[in-house]
Amino acid sequence: MKLNEAVRNSAAPTGKAGGKTCLFGVECMTLSWTAGLLSAYLHLVSAAAVITVLLCITLLIFRKRTELLLILTGCVCGISAWKLYDARIRQPLCAMDGQTVVCTGEITEKQIYRSDRIRYRLQTRLNGHSVSVDWYADSGVPELKTGDTVTLSAVLTRIAPDYRFHTEQYQAGQGRYLRIYSAELLRFQEDTGFSLRRAVQNYRDSVTRKIQTAMADEDAALLCAMLFGDKTGMDQAERQSLYRSGIGHITAVSGLHLMFFCTALTWLFRRMHLSKRMQFLLLLPAIALFVLLVDSSVSVYRAACMLLMTRAAALFGRRGDPLRALCITMFACTVFTPYVIGSVSFWLSFSGVFGVSIAAPYFSELAGIPKGSSSLTELAAVSLSVFPASVLLCGESSLIAPLGNLLILPFTVTALYIGFSVLLTGGLTAGLLPAAGLLCRISRVLAESLARLPFSHLNASSPFLRAAVLLLAGILLLLPGFRAKGRHFIAALLFGIVLLGAMTAAEQFRTSENLRVAVLGRKQESVLVISGSGKTAAADLSGAVKNPQYVRTYLAEYGIDRLDVLICSGKNAAAYQKELASVEISEVILRESVMWREDETVCGIEPKSPQDRAFTLRLGELRLICENGVLTAEQGNVSVTTCPAADETVYSANAVIRYGGTAAVSDDAKILLNPGGEADVLPKVCTDRNVLLRIAPDGSTDMLLLEKQRSIAGLFAED
């Protein structure tokens, strides 16, 4: 049975063959709405128009006039919805950057960071619209609580790109474009009445404290991430290993968690001999409390909508249609909040549901496996469905997700059930938490081991590879619609895997011949990651304490797990030791050893400290020359020179980078970089940060803005 036949047979609506009844009217309308919304968000309206015209011609040939009308209506409405939202809400809010306003709002969320900094989430009105704004309060502000009302004289700051955490993209997917870093608290009104939101958050905090008391820090952080979606206690390396082993979804509260929660409640309701109607009515407030209890996200709302539709269909004697339920939920999630169309969690969540509810039955039918009898088939279907979205949106995807889920999921699910028992009983089962800690520790060790495998994940930072993945995914998605036989589909899938592997190897070979220099950091702070001939070196130029975070992010996104040499200063050597704990480092050079003891190691390596601050390193064909604060990277006939901005010497190279201020002179090079300097002071000077210079052996040079590159762990890490 083919995919379209399976969906047709399970769907509720029916119609006569050749009649005017559209069996898939809801699907046509919703999918075209989503396509229109996405094309407007990506500024691809022209391309969408061309595709729509071709589709309309095809439908006219086959006399599908009803489908044609629905598709045109959905596409036009989707484009109009985003254009209206962008013109009426997003652009006016972004234009308020730097303005000082007096705003009054209610505190809906509170988070205390390890540095004792407090972040309040304020629901207020700006420019006539109800918006959510994060306020980073000063230490002098009295501690407030959820439900309190405050009036601020605040300076609004537009959320800027942050390469370490991809803050701008993450927040835009939540509909937030502004933050408050500087504000004067004019007055506040304490909420002395009962607040359901505050009561739920206080209860969550009490459960979190019980978990943190009974378990080791790393294990407690993983359980809290699984239970509430709170990943603030997890470091970046651990998040990366979870995602690369394919089990990272367990830390993003989604349908899996809601299903476990509702399964436990349903079991309890059945023990109480309640009717199905009463069970459904009691599930409604229970699900609402669950949404308040966890970090609310698109995946939670999506799961709640689909679960309620499925339960309601069974209650009224109707058969569930997973494709229709998925489409309706997609429309419900975007019709009032169009900004979620740019949320990575939105696409990963819906891709996973598509794999479980639609792709898995189809694969089981191809393999002749009875429905629901093979969990391995479901894992493979989900991994295959999520793969295109994770590669296109995040630049990488796990290749061992089925294996990772098969090995690790039993441990994490058991720990999660223990966490739910503590949550539902108010801590009466806290004696089981040490066992949950052991399960979390086993899960972390397995994830780290799997993530270190040579082919644990695919890194597709090249637009060429991403386009290939998109094309292959489109072909595989169309094959069932054309009633391709099972062996043809499997053959196409295997051919796509082999082709993608060959293209990845060819891309890696091609880029290995280039000299690549990533210029990372913020403001006037800079650190370089230099790659060439299979060797990689990191050279810290400014000694800023946050530079190691940029290096860690870059290495993770480009799949680099080994540094041949690390050049840093004593001021931030400890920070490198913390951030690069999972990176193998061969040699460490301290440009200056201030604030560093001679008997201590850096990343497990005894550092070298040249007395004259001049040295030359040979890493295969790559050569690094450091002299008088000037660092030159050479490979073959190409070179990149890095020097202080105040240096008045004019340098000749394929690219020149000046750091630490505004450039004093203009150099003789095709690309001149002055990260953090003033724009338009000197001709041809680029002041961007977080860019990648790529210089081919023939001397041709180009520059890539790294803010557009992504990784899964980075997208789900909020600063």
Residue 716 inside a domain? The answer is no
For residues 18 and 33, membership in a common domain is answered with yes
Residue 530 inside a domain? The answer is yes
Q: Distance between CA 52 and CA 615 in Å, rounded? A: 61
Q: Is residue 607 within 8 Å of residue 590, measured between CB atoms?
A: yes
The whole-number average pLDDT for the span 36-57 is 80
Position 718 pLDDT exceeds 70: no
Report the number of secondary-structure helices (H) and strands (E) in the chain: 23, 23
Q: Distance between CA 77 and CA 23 in Å, rounded? A: 21
Residue 712 in tokens: 């899964």
For residues 533 and 426, membership in a common domain is answered with no
The whole-number average pLDDT for the span 32-40 is 89
pLDDT band at 710 (very low <50, low <70, confident <90, very high): low
For residues 279 and 413, membership in a common domain is answered with yes
Nearest partner of 224 among 389, 23, 519, 213, judged by Cα: 213
Residue 591 inside a domain? The answer is yes
Residue 359 inside a domain? The answer is no
Q: Distance between CA 177 and CA 173 in Å, rounded? A: 10
For residues 241 and 327, membership in a common domain is answered with yes
Residue 498 in tokens: 């082999």
Q: Is residue 602 within 8 Å of residue 623, measured between CB atoms?
A: no
Least confident range of 139-148, 404-413, 489-498: 489-498
In the three-class reduction of DSSP (H, G, I as helix; E, B as strand; rest coil), residue 225 is classed as helix
For residues 489 and 616, membership in a common domain is answered with no
For residues 49 and 100, membership in a common domain is answered with no
Q: Which amino acid is at 364?
A: S
Q: How many domains does the chain have?
A: 5
Nearest partner of 516 among 638, 365, 600, judged by Cα: 638
pLDDT for the residue 369: 64
E strands within 56-128?
Answer: 100-112, 118-126
For residues 318 and 235, membership in a common domain is answered with yes
pLDDT for the residue 479: 74
pLDDT for the residue 504: 76
pLDDT band at 538 (very low <50, low <70, confident <90, very high): very high
Nearest partner of 526 among 516, 541, 538, 536, judged by Cα: 541
Provide, rounded to the nearest whole percent, the portion of the chain with pLDDT above 90.
20
pLDDT for the residue 436: 93
For residues 270 and 319, membership in a common domain is answered with yes
Q: Is residue 436 within 8 Å of residue 223, measured between CB atoms?
A: yes
pLDDT in tens, 292-301: 777 656 667 7
The whole-number average pLDDT for the span 482-495 is 75
Q: Is residue 696 within 8 Å of residue 636, measured between CB atoms?
A: no
Residue 710 inside a domain? The answer is no
Residue 366 inside a domain? The answer is no
The whole-number average pLDDT for the span 259-273 is 78
Position 526 pLDDT exceeds 50: yes
The whole-number average pLDDT for the span 355-380 is 69
CATH of the domain at 636: 3.60.15.10
Residue 415 inside a domain? The answer is yes
Residue 208 inside a domain? The answer is yes
Between residues 708 and 458, the one the model is more confident about? 458
Q: Distance between CA 696 and CA 655 in Å, rounded? A: 12
pLDDT band at 531 (very low <50, low <70, confident <90, very high): very high
Between residues 344 and 40, the one the model is more confident about? 40
Q: What is the DSSP string of 331-366?
A: HHHHHS-GGGGG-HHHHHHHHHHHIIIIIHHHHHHH
Q: Distance between CA 609 and CA 414 in Å, rounded? A: 50
Domain range for 130? 96-193
Residue 389 in tokens: 């979205």
Q: Distance between CA 692 and CA 696 in Å, rounded? A: 13
For residues 51 and 82, membership in a common domain is answered with yes
Q: Is residue 464 within 8 Å of residue 506, measured between CB atoms?
A: no
pLDDT band at 482 (very low <50, low <70, confident <90, very high): low
Residues 6+ apart with CB under 8 A from 76: 36
